[in-house]
Structure 1
Amino acid sequence: MTSTELTSEPGSEPSSEQADTGRGGWALRGVSRPGPWKRGRIVAALSLLLALFLLLHAHVPNSVGNLGSLVDTFLPWWGLFVPALLAAALWRRSACAVAALLLPALVWLNLFGGLLGDKSHAGGDLTVVSHNVGADNPDPVGTARDLAASGADVLALEEITARARGTYEKALATAYPHHTVRGTVGLWSKLPLSDTEPVGIAMDYGPLAATKPDGAEAADGRALRTTVATDRGPLAVYVAHFASTRVTPRDGFATDQRDRGARALGEAVAAERIERVLLLGDLNGSTDDRAFADLTARLKSTQDVAGDGFGFSWPAAFPVVRIDQILVRGVEPTSSWVLPATDSDHRPVAAGIKW
């Protein structure tokens, strides 16, 4: 027999020159198995590509189907590839693949590690809540009751239909003596409100077309600005509901209307003269999305500063992204959390703030 001939002799032990090839003890003489630093090179290469992708995600262009914004929105979930690749590396018993995996793990932790711990602390002058109550909510009375029980001092609602508006006004009247509604967004407060006005963020109303204000071009019914009178001075509060986004084969991540709304609201916040500002709303996007740069440059997310975890809020049954936001300027968040689900397809989000 030649040195590469297959052997399967009963009761014989393979020599050091033989390598097991699977069932039946078949072996090839003269062929040695690669060492742990030479195995799993494909897994190692994929790990390095993942690290590079996470590190340079901001450079993924938006010119083709807003791909960059889509990557930004779901960026935390790319971390799931790390344990998947680790399993492959262990199966291959590859030391080089395990070592290469340290790079994407470290990059992911640098991006999102700060969200893993609980950064909340006691205290706070106001508790604020924001909730997209859902146009198809079958139980607005129950939703209003749950929101009032949260203890919020200031409560913002989005996607209020003309049919349900009276229900919310009646159900919340006792707990919140002050309220204002513009189109599909509203604010309920235990403190007096003044100087309420719509904020023009032109967009298509879609399923909420029936609530579009007469004579408006869908510009002043999905965002408002008002002043809350507190014992520490005025607080400018914005409530907004940006246009929905869709992923389609033709348009990719369709965000044009939402992005125009974000820019318009960013300009309004930039022109705001009151030092203390609060933005509550369904922004239909994560604050990691570059489309919100005008807002995040001026306002900070309560979840990033004082939250516990990622604070995902949509869809309510199994949240995978935080598109319901509470952003602040001139005040300090003390806590940020997600409330239990209502009959809406969003979960309410809450925060404590102090002067």
Structure 2
Amino acid sequence: MLAVLSGLTAVLLAFHRAVPNSPGRLGSLIEAFLPWFGIVVLFLLVGALLRRSALALVAVLLPVAAWTYLFGGLLLPAGAAGAGDLVVVQHNVSDENPDPAGTARALVDAEPDLIALQELVPPALGVYEETLAADYPYHVVRGTVGLWSKHPLTEARTLDIKPRDIEEPWSRALRAVVDTPQGEVAAYVVHLPSIRIGAGGLASARRDESAELLGRALARERAGTVVLAGDLNGTVDDRGLAPLTSRLNVAERGFALSFPAALPLARIDQVMAGTATVAEVRTLSATGSDHLPIAARITRH
């Protein structure tokens, strides 16, 4: 039985893209929690050791190898930081955050070059602007998303990633050009629609539609270096984010599980880069949000 379970787990890890997404977007649901299959692999390994079965031990090496291939690199130490690296903090601050000033100060303590925020609403928006102004003199806000920068910002504009079935005003994406000492960077700040898990499976149609619209915008991008930061309501393994992950690089080191803050199960807050490498990603201390902030170090090619 252990050998059979090991084989099935290895097949699921290695060929998760072959799992159909219908009904209930089953494939996306599995991919959202794919790293946690490591716990299954650990139990299989312990079971094989307790049974002292040579067949079970050999069989469990298959899911061990599959998991290590997919996620083992995230556990390795990151390389040394370079002088031209760009540090980006991403945080969904929550529109119910009781301490926006404390949240802003916590993000500044990480000393990033860029801070990308979502769920910015009055009057908290004014608090963020006031608290961040001294260290981040350049900022732009569009709808409920904003970007703060140590470097000048130009060409700021709203991106239309609104799902077709949303009729009310909805503005949750922006693009701006950051004039860094190492050259211009096109920065995207986004908040994709929420997903829900229910009896019918994973409800992610709106998120997937917005991801597709954002992917089209990225395909038209002509800047040399691109940075995307946002609450994407999905992990980088989720096929629903393929329009983004097929065009941008994701973190090479670090799990940085960001949601929910009380017991993080998945990293749905992401920093990705084009013509650059996301060398590492890590979580920061909890704030008044239901998300943990993440900090990413980007190395340009």
SS in 2 for 1:224: strand
Match in the other structure for 1:84 = 43
Deviations 1:138-196 (A, max 9, x none): 10010011111211121111111223111111111111111111111001111111111
1:158 aligns with 2:103: no
Equivalent pair of 2:158/2:174 in contact (CA under 8 Å): yes
Equivalent pair of 1:179/1:187 in contact (CA under 8 Å): yes
Runs of 4+, deviation exceeding 6 Å: none
Match in the other structure for 1:226 = 176
Letter aligned with residue 255 of structure 1: S
Match in the other structure for 2:101 = 141
The structure-2 alpha-carbon separation of the partners of 1:93 and 1:336, relative to structure 1 and needing over 3 Å to count, comes to closer
SS in 1 for 2:289: coil
1:100 aligns with 2:59: yes
| Aligned-partner Cα distance in 1 for 2:42–2:182 | 49
Match in the other structure for 1:272 = 221
Equivalent pair of 1:286/1:323 in contact (CA under 8 Å): yes
With structure 2 as the length reference, what TM-score do the two structures score? Answer: 0.94
Larger deviation: 57-66 or 157-166?
Answer: 157-166
Deviations 1:77-106 (A, max 9, x none): 112112212333334332222221111111
The structure-2 alpha-carbon separation of the partners of 1:87 and 1:71, relative to structure 1 and needing over 3 Å to count, comes to same
Match in the other structure for 1:58 = 17
Tell me how far 1:204 sits from its aligned partner: 9.3
1:249 aligns with 2:209: no
Equivalent pair of 1:121/1:334 in contact (CA under 8 Å): no
Tell me how far 1:334 sits from its aligned partner: 4.2
Equivalent pair of 1:337/1:351 in contact (CA under 8 Å): yes
The structure-2 alpha-carbon separation of the partners of 1:241 and 1:234, relative to structure 1 and needing over 3 Å to count, comes to same
Tell me how far 1:331 sits from its aligned partner: 2.8
Deviations 1:270-327 (A, max 9, x none): 10111111101110101111111121121101x22xx2x3121111122121111111
1:127 aligns with 2:72: no
Residues 315-334 of structure 1 aligned to structure 2 (within 5 Å): 315-334=260-279
| Aligned-partner Cα distance in 2 for 1:171–1:69 | 39
1:347 aligns with 2:285: no
Note the aligned Cα RMSD (angstroms).
1.9
The structure-2 alpha-carbon separation of the partners of 1:177 and 1:170, relative to structure 1 and needing over 3 Å to count, comes to same
SS in 2 for 1:99: helix
| Aligned-partner Cα distance in 2 for 1:204–1:312 | 31
| Aligned-partner Cα distance in 1 for 2:113–2:70 | 33
| Aligned-partner Cα distance in 2 for 1:255–1:69 | 9
Tell me how far 1:120 sits from its aligned partner: 3.3
Tell me how far 1:333 sits from its aligned partner: 3.6
| Aligned-partner Cα distance in 2 for 1:335–1:75 | 20
SS in 1 for 2:123: helix
The structure-2 alpha-carbon separation of the partners of 1:205 and 1:338, relative to structure 1 and needing over 3 Å to count, comes to farther
Letter aligned with residue 122 of structure 2: A
| Aligned-partner Cα distance in 1 for 2:29–2:123 | 34
1:182 aligns with 2:142: yes
| Aligned-partner Cα distance in 1 for 2:263–2:165 | 26
Unmatched tracts of structure 2, length 5 or more: none
| Aligned-partner Cα distance in 2 for 1:54–1:95 | 22
SS in 2 for 1:300: coil
| Aligned-partner Cα distance in 2 for 1:64–1:254 | 11
Number of residue pairs matched? 299
The structure-2 alpha-carbon separation of the partners of 1:235 and 1:340, relative to structure 1 and needing over 3 Å to count, comes to same
Match in the other structure for 2:4 = 45
| Aligned-partner Cα distance in 2 for 1:217–1:44 | 53
| Aligned-partner Cα distance in 2 for 1:345–1:144 | 15
Letter aligned with residue 278 of structure 1: V
| Aligned-partner Cα distance in 1 for 2:174–2:116 | 10
1:284 aligns with 2:237: no
Match of 1:202 among 162, 186, 195: 162
Match in the other structure for 2:153 = 193
With structure 1 as the length reference, what TM-score do the two structures score? Answer: 0.80
| Aligned-partner Cα distance in 2 for 1:53–1:190 | 44
SS in 1 for 2:35: helix
The structure-2 alpha-carbon separation of the partners of 1:332 and 1:98, relative to structure 1 and needing over 3 Å to count, comes to closer
SS in 2 for 1:65: coil
Match in the other structure for 1:235 = 185
- Higher Cα Rg: structure 1 or 2? 1
Match in the other structure for 2:76 = 117
SS in 1 for 2:285: coil
Letter aligned with residue 99 of structure 1: V
Match in the other structure for 1:67 = 26
